[in-house]
Amino acid sequence: MGLLIRAIIIWGIIALLPLLSISQKNTIDSLKQIYESPVEDSVKVKSLLKLCQAYIPSNFDSVKYYLDSAYCMAKRNKLYQEVASSLNLYGIVAWYKGDLPNAKKYFEHSHEFSKKNGFVRGQAKAAGNLGLVCSKFGDYTTGQPYFEEAIALYRKLKDTSTVSKNQVDLSNNLAERGLYKEAVEQLLEATHYFEKQNDSLNLIYAYFGLGDLHYKMKSFDPALHYFEESIRMEDKENPANHISSSLMGIGLIYEKLKKDFTKAEEYYLQSLDAANEYNYKSALVGVTNNLASIYFQQKDYPKALQQFKLAYKLLKEGNLYNAEIPLIINLGNNYLHLEKYDSARIYLNEGLLKAEEAHSPEHVEIVHLHLFQLDSALGNYLPAIEHLKKAQNMHDSLWKQENLDRINELEVQYETEKKEQENSQLKKENELKANIIQNHRTIGVIITLALLLMIVLGFWLFISKKRLKHLNDKLESQKIDLQKLNITKDKFFSIIAHDLKSPFSSLLGLLDMLEEDFDTLSDNEKMEIIVSLQKSSHNTYNLLMNLLDWSRSQRGQIKFEAEEFRLSDSIHNVTKVLISRSKLKNHTLELDIPEELTVNTDKMMLESIVLNLVTNSIKFTNNEGRIWVSAKQIDTSLLISIKDNGIGIPSEKIAQLFELDNDFKRLGTNSELGTGLGLILCHDFVSMMGGKISVESAEGKGSTFTIAIPL
């Protein structure tokens, strides 16, 4: 739980660092005198903007008065750079007031206006601020290009100091997306600059960021080193805020990486003292929450509840709403463990509502899991199962989005590498052309020798080109093989991490419910749980068998071994295994296999293909449906068809069915899980048998899978 509010501390320290750069050379009184004196409007506008900066965030009434005056005067006199600065300041005011949507709107306006009018510094400021706003919204993917744009523009302006500050923000963005290597690279470059400049204030933030990055990478010693370096830094502008945050960071690494709760509590209490001394609100919320987390993990729920309540109160007082949702969920979970079910439900329902409003699928999933535990404890088994299903659906959605993000990243990486290869090839070709030209000049000096050299050179070019083509073909083949291996590996691990984990989680949840509440369950409820267990067990077993067979085939451990056998006996063996499953859905399974038909092929592969195809028909055919298995010999080929009157397949998806990286995946008619791996395994086995597999399907009318293999 301590991780849920860690973001408060990081943003509390660094979020507004690049937003304001207030000059202290002129006092507020002197700025007012300039504004009130008879000077040009351009000078007045600049003094008004500096007044606004000086008043933020202590006096928003004065800020609004001076900022409105500056904006109107700038527009009236067509002072476009000051118009852009005014829009940026409107965004900063909205930021400080917690109005992030309006802050984003003003920053976008300033960014567009500056870009249109060629104000590079104004565009850079607005881009950096937009990156921060997107990150505050949790939209890190959108925020990254803004930070990169700001860095590129400040490099163009040769403003290395602001480049480094934006690198700190970009590092935080990358870290939140799990891109730790890239985040460390950005932050180390910024740190080296701050060290050269002896910039103690920014070094504090840089060291803290490096400590936090190593904490995320679970590297205890480097994390401890950088947090301690941050504490050792002295800066008169920031005497205690960074100390409180760094002490809290050390507490976190002891709690999460060492599981040393005593040491963690010691540092949390030191952090609390520093935060209280300077009334550092965000640190007070964070460290109070982390203390509650320790007590919760030690099962001291009353003490944990006391701390969670205090953290929530401090959060409300400080208007730190970015951590409101996780704190509400923590309170609900704490009440759940205290068996105060009414209070637990109130907080969990409130957390669910706010998580849905904030479009936070991670928190929605967590709340549904807690509500599953709550309803299970109260014996409300049907609502409990519904919450478990919703949590699983949300988990599936998150998994799919993660895969889409990963695919997008791979596509960008591939395009970048492709362009680099093209540039390298073009450079080689240019160098080759230059050599040929030089050779031709030499040939022009001595004609006889030139003719001989041309023959030799032509022969050499022919051999070189042939060798180069051979090497390019080999490299291209290796690249395709590596891409296929990467897809295979990603598919393998995604199935293990997701498709096996999810059904086992459901199995364990239902078994725990059955064991703990067996005597209180009605017969209908028991039967419903048993049916769910049976379906989940069958699906998981099939997935595991397909996964093992597919893994063996990918590693070349399955070889084609032909033998002669009677087809009807083999098909009957397969259908015996599936008959009980088809009865669960009242299916009619019809066989049309000639008794005298004998084949000479790999029996195991053929039975595996039929097993997977009939299993798919059972899975995607509604109750009371029909399934036909037929076979016939045409010349020297064997045709086996598996036909059903199920839900069918969309026409645009048929071509992707046998591709490893296809994204077409859905539940069966009774919510049976499916990965598409069985069809891929069928395709591989049919190919190894020297045959072909085809599909005919229409949505709502059923499907027919036909395999043709040589006898």
pLDDT, tens digit (0-9, with 9 covering 90-100), for 531-544? 767 766 765 666 56
Percent of the chain clearing pLDDT 70 (strictly above): 77
**DSSP state, residue 653:** G
* Phi then psi dihedrals of residue 131, to 5 deg: -60, -40
- Tokens representing 710? 């040589």
pLDDT for 656 beyond 50: yes
For the chain, give the mean pLDDT: 79
* Phi then psi dihedrals of residue 704, to 5 deg: -135, 115
- Residue 363 belongs to a domain: no
* Phi then psi dihedrals of residue 600, to 5 deg: -130, 90
Region of poorest pLDDT, from 88-92, 294-298, 513-517, 624-628? 513-517
pLDDT of 638: 92
Higher-pLDDT residue of 460 and 226 is: 226
Torsion (CA) 607, 610, 615, 618 in degrees, nearest 10: -140
Distance CA 356, CA 115 (A): 36
pLDDT for 208 beyond 90: no
- Tokens representing 677? 């791996």
* Phi then psi dihedrals of residue 518, to 5 deg: -60, -45
Amino acid at 579: I
The three-point CA angle 427-433-434 to 5° equals 90
Beta bridge partners of 590: 628
Distance CA 435, CA 429 (A): 10
Judged by DSSP in three states, 318 sits in coil
Residues 55 and 147 in one domain: yes
Residues 594 and 694 in one domain: yes
pLDDT of 505: 61
Residues 484 and 580 in one domain: no
**Is residue 565 very low, low, confident or very high in pLDDT (cuts 50, 70, 90)?**
very high
Residues 46 and 131 in one domain: yes
Torsion (CA) 32, 34, 36, 38 in degrees, nearest 10: 180
CATH code for the domain of 646: 3.30.565.10
Residues 564 and 512 in one domain: no
Distance CA 609, CA 612 (A): 5
Beta bridge partners of 591: 629
Alpha helix stretches (DSSP H) within 298-340: 301-317, 324-337
pLDDT for 19 beyond 80: no
Residues 566 and 688 in one domain: yes
Distance CA 124, CA 157 (A): 10
Contact 642, 629 (CB under 8 A): yes
pLDDT of 278: 72
Residues 597 and 673 in one domain: yes
pLDDT tens-digit profile of 439-453? 666 666 677 776 777
Dihedral over Cα of 101, 105, 106, 112: its sign: positive
Choosing from 158, 189, 211, the residue where a domain stops is 158
Q: Which residues contact 139 (CB under 8 A, 6 or more apart)?
A: none
Ordered DSSP codes for 459-474: HHHHHHHHHHHHHHHH
Residue 27 Ramachandran class (φ > 0 left, ψ -120 to 50 alpha, else beta): beta
- Please name the helix (run of DSSP H) or strand (run of DSSP E) that holds residue 640, with its range, or none: strand 637-644
pLDDT for 48 beyond 70: yes
**Is residue 205 very low, low, confident or very high in pLDDT (cuts 50, 70, 90)?**
confident
pLDDT tens-digit profile of 107-135? 999 999 989 999 999 999 999 999 998 88
Residues 703 and 571 in one domain: yes
**Is residue 145 very low, low, confident or very high in pLDDT (cuts 50, 70, 90)?**
very high
Distance CA 86, CA 50 (A): 11
- Give CA separation, 518 vs 43, 67, 105, 337, in Å: 81, 69, 57, 22
**DSSP state, residue 498:** I
Residue given tokens 């001595």 in the structure block: 446
Residues 517 and 561 in one domain: no
- Give CA separation, 168 vs 104, 226, 359, in Å: 20, 15, 27
Higher-pLDDT residue of 505 and 475 is: 475
Rg of the chain on CA atoms, in Å = 34
Choosing from 496, 521, 546, the residue where a domain stops is 521
- Residue 657 belongs to a domain: yes
- Residue 321 belongs to a domain: no
pLDDT tens-digit profile of 482-506? 776 666 656 655 555 445 555 666 6
Q: Which residues contact 653 (CB under 8 A, 6 or more apart)?
A: 662, 664
Q: Which residues contact 328 (CB under 8 A, 6 or more apart)?
A: 312, 347, 350, 351, 354
Percent of the chain clearing pLDDT 90 (strictly above): 24
Of the candidates 362, 341, 367, the one whose C-alpha atom is nearest the C-alpha of residue 352 is: 367
- Residue 169 belongs to a domain: no
pLDDT tens-digit profile of 304-357? 899 888 888 888 876 665 578 888 999 999 999 999 999 999 999 998 998 888
Higher-pLDDT residue of 610 and 52 is: 610
Distance CA 610, CA 278 (A): 73
Residue given tokens 């509650």 in the structure block: 292
CATH code for the domain of 96: 1.25.40.10
pTM: 0.48
Can you tell me the mean pLDDT for 498-518?
Answer: 68
Residue 634 Ramachandran class (φ > 0 left, ψ -120 to 50 alpha, else beta): beta
**Is residue 276 very low, low, confident or very high in pLDDT (cuts 50, 70, 90)?**
confident
**Is residue 154 very low, low, confident or very high in pLDDT (cuts 50, 70, 90)?**
very high
pLDDT for 360 beyond 60: yes
pLDDT of 695: 94
Choosing from 140, 158, 176, the residue where a domain stops is 158
The three-point CA angle 195-201-206 to 5° equals 60
pLDDT of 404: 46
Residues 705 and 561 in one domain: yes
Residue-number span of the structural domain to which 509 is assigned: 397-521
Residue given tokens 């597919």 in the structure block: 550
pLDDT of 274: 83
pLDDT for 42 beyond 80: no
Higher-pLDDT residue of 58 and 560 is: 560
Using CB atoms within 10 Å of the CB of residue 247, give its burial: 0 to 12 exposed, 13 to 18 middle, 19+ buried: buried
- Which of the listed ranges 68-77, 341-350, 426-435 does the model predict with the highest average pLDDT? 341-350
Residue given tokens 């760094």 in the structure block: 246
Question: How many structural domains compose the chain?
Answer: 3
- Residue 262 belongs to a domain: no
Can you tell me the mean pLDDT for 384-407?
Answer: 68
pLDDT tens-digit profile of 386-395? 888 888 887 7
pLDDT tens-digit profile of 572-614? 988 887 887 788 889 999 999 999 999 999 988 898 899 889 9
pLDDT of 387: 86
**Is residue 569 very low, low, confident or very high in pLDDT (cuts 50, 70, 90)?**
very high
- Residue 425 belongs to a domain: yes
**Is residue 481 very low, low, confident or very high in pLDDT (cuts 50, 70, 90)?**
low
pLDDT of 400: 52
Higher-pLDDT residue of 329 and 424 is: 329
- Residue 195 belongs to a domain: no
- Give CA separation, 196 vs 157, 165, 190, 200, 388, in Å: 20, 14, 10, 10, 55
- Residue 293 belongs to a domain: no
- Tokens representing 528? 């419903």
Residues 480 and 570 in one domain: no
Residues 493 and 630 in one domain: no
